[in-house]
Structure 1
Amino acid sequence: MSIQSGISTTENNEIEPLESDAPLIVYIDFKSPYAYLSVAPTREMLSKLDLIADWRPFVLDIPSYLGSAKLDKGGKKVAKQDRTEEQWSGVKYAYFDCRRYANLSGMTIRGTIKIWNTNLPAIGMLWIKQFSDLTEQCSKGSLLEKYIDAIYDPFWKRELDVEDLSEVLKVLKAIGAPTEGFSDFVKGKGASMNESLQESAFDAGIFGVPTYILPNESVNDPKHEKFFGREHLPRISWLLTGRDGEAPNTRYDIDDKLDRKALTKSAADNLSDPSVLTTFFDFKSPQSYLALNPINSIKKDGIVINWKPFSSKPLKVPNKEIPNEDRGAKHRRIRGEYIANDINRYAPHELQDIYSESDCQFPDMGLLWLQKELKADSDLIDSYVTRMFKYIWQEVGPIESAKDIEKILVELGVKVEGWNEYSTNLGIRHLSEVRSEIDPKSINVTPVFFIGDEPFQGHSQLPLIAARLKAGI
Structure 2
Amino acid sequence: MTPVVWDPLRSDSPLIVYLDFKSPYAYLAKDPCFALEDEFGIAIDWRPLTLDIPSYLGSAKADERGKVLESKRSPRQWNAVRYAYRDAKRYARLRDIEIKGTTKIWDTSLASIGMLWVKRQGRDMLRRYIDSVYRQFWRRDLDVEAPDVVSSELQAAGADMAGFDDYLAHAGRIEHDQLMASLHPAGIYGVPTFIIAGQRYFGREQLPLVRWHLGGEVGSAPDIAYESASAAALTHEFGAGPFTEPTVYIDFKNPKSYLAVAPTRALERELGVGLRWRGLNLSAQRTPDPAADETTSQRHFRARTEYNQMEIERTAARAHLGLGSGDKVSRDLDTTLASVGLLWAERCGCAESYVDQVFAGLWQGVLDVTSAEVLGELLSTLGASDFADYLPAGRDEQREIQETAEQQGIIGVPGYHIGEHVFVGREHLPLLRSLLGKAVLSEGRDE
Give me the whole-angstrom Cα distance separating, in 1, the residues matched to 2:407 and 2:312. Answer: 20
Give me the whole-angstrom Cα distance separating, in 1, the residues matched to 2:280 and 2:293. Answer: 38
- Please state if 1:302 is matched with 2:272: yes
Which one-letter code corresponds to 1:420 in the other structure?
Answer: A
Residue 406 of structure 1 is aligned with which of 376, 396, 405?
A: 376
Give me the whole-angstrom Cα distance separating, in 1, the residues matched to 2:323 and 2:357. Answer: 18
Query: CA 1:186–1:12 in structure 2 vs 1: closer, same or farther (change >3 Å)?
Result: closer
Deviations 1:83-116 (CA, angstroms, capped at 9, x unpaired): 1111111111111000010011100110001111
8 A Cα contact 2:345 2:384, kept in partner: no
Deviations 1:124-160 (CA, angstroms, capped at 9, x unpaired): 111111113xxxx2xxxx1111111010001100011
Give me the whole-angstrom Cα distance separating, in 1, the residues matched to 2:217 and 2:231. Answer: 35
Give me the whole-angstrom Cα distance separating, in 1, the residues matched to 2:225 and 2:257. Answer: 14
Which one-letter code corresponds to 1:306 in the other structure?
Answer: R
- Please state if 1:453 is matched with 2:435: no
Give the stretch that moved more between structures: 100-109 or 169-178.
169-178
Give me the whole-angstrom Cα distance separating, in 2, the residues matched to 1:183 and 1:157. Answer: 26
- Please state if 1:188 is matched with 2:170: yes
- Please state if 1:68 is matched with 2:59: yes
Which has the larger share of helix? 2
Which one-letter code corresponds to 2:73 in the other structure?
Answer: R
**Cα root mean square deviation, aligned:** 2.4
Query: CA 1:450–1:441 in structure 2 vs 1: closer, same or farther (change >3 Å)?
Result: closer
Match in the other structure for 2:71: 81
SS of match in other structure, 2:417: strand
Give me the whole-angstrom Cα distance separating, in 1, the residues matched to 2:253 and 2:409. Answer: 18
Match in the other structure for 1:220: none
- Please state if 1:436 is matched with 2:403: yes
Match in the other structure for 1:349: 322
- Please state if 1:266 is matched with 2:256: no
TM-aligned CA deviation for residue 177 of structure 1 = 2.2
Match in the other structure for 1:250: 224
Which one-letter code corresponds to 2:322 in the other structure?
Answer: H
Query: CA 1:440–1:350 in structure 2 vs 1: closer, same or farther (change >3 Å)?
Result: farther
Residue 128 of structure 1 is aligned with which of 118, 133, 144?
A: 118
Moved >6 Å (runs of 4+): none
Match in the other structure for 2:445: none
- Output aligned runs, 1:1-150, within 5 Å: 13-72=4-63, 74-132=64-122, 137=123, 142-150=124-132
- Please state if 1:464 is matched with 2:438: no
Match in the other structure for 1:422: 390
User: TM-score under structure 1 normalisation?
Assistant: 0.85
Give the stretch that moved more between structures: 172-181 or 445-454.
172-181
Count the aligned residue pairs.
433
Residue 163 of structure 1 is aligned with which of 122, 125, 145?
A: 145
TM-aligned CA deviation for residue 272 of structure 1 = 5.2
Query: CA 1:455–1:441 in structure 2 vs 1: closer, same or farther (change >3 Å)?
Result: closer
User: TM-score under structure 2 normalisation?
Assistant: 0.90
SS of match in other structure, 2:405: coil
8 A Cα contact 1:146 1:175, kept in partner: yes
Give me the whole-angstrom Cα distance separating, in 1, the residues matched to 2:364 and 2:212. Answer: 26
Give me the whole-angstrom Cα distance separating, in 2, the residues matched to 1:237 and 1:355. Answer: 35
TM-aligned CA deviation for residue 191 of structure 1 = 1.6
Deviations 1:370-393 (CA, angstroms, capped at 9, x unpaired): 334x4x3xxx42233223222322
8 A Cα contact 2:66 2:101, kept in partner: no
Deviations 1:224-247 (CA, angstroms, capped at 9, x unpaired): x21110111222333444443223
Give me the whole-angstrom Cα distance separating, in 2, the residues matched to 1:81 and 1:310. Answer: 29
Match in the other structure for 2:337: 362
Query: CA 1:75–1:146 in structure 2 vs 1: closer, same or farther (change >3 Å)?
Result: same
TM-aligned CA deviation for residue 24 of structure 1 = 1.5
Residue 189 of structure 2 is aligned with which of 204, 207, 211?
A: 207
Give me the whole-angstrom Cα distance separating, in 1, the residues matched to 2:67 and 2:145. Answer: 22
Give me the whole-angstrom Cα distance separating, in 1, the residues matched to 2:390 and 2:340. Answer: 8
Which one-letter code corresponds to 2:352 in the other structure?
Answer: D
Give me the whole-angstrom Cα distance separating, in 2, the residues matched to 1:89 and 1:415. Answer: 37
Query: CA 1:261–1:442 in structure 2 vs 1: closer, same or farther (change >3 Å)?
Result: closer
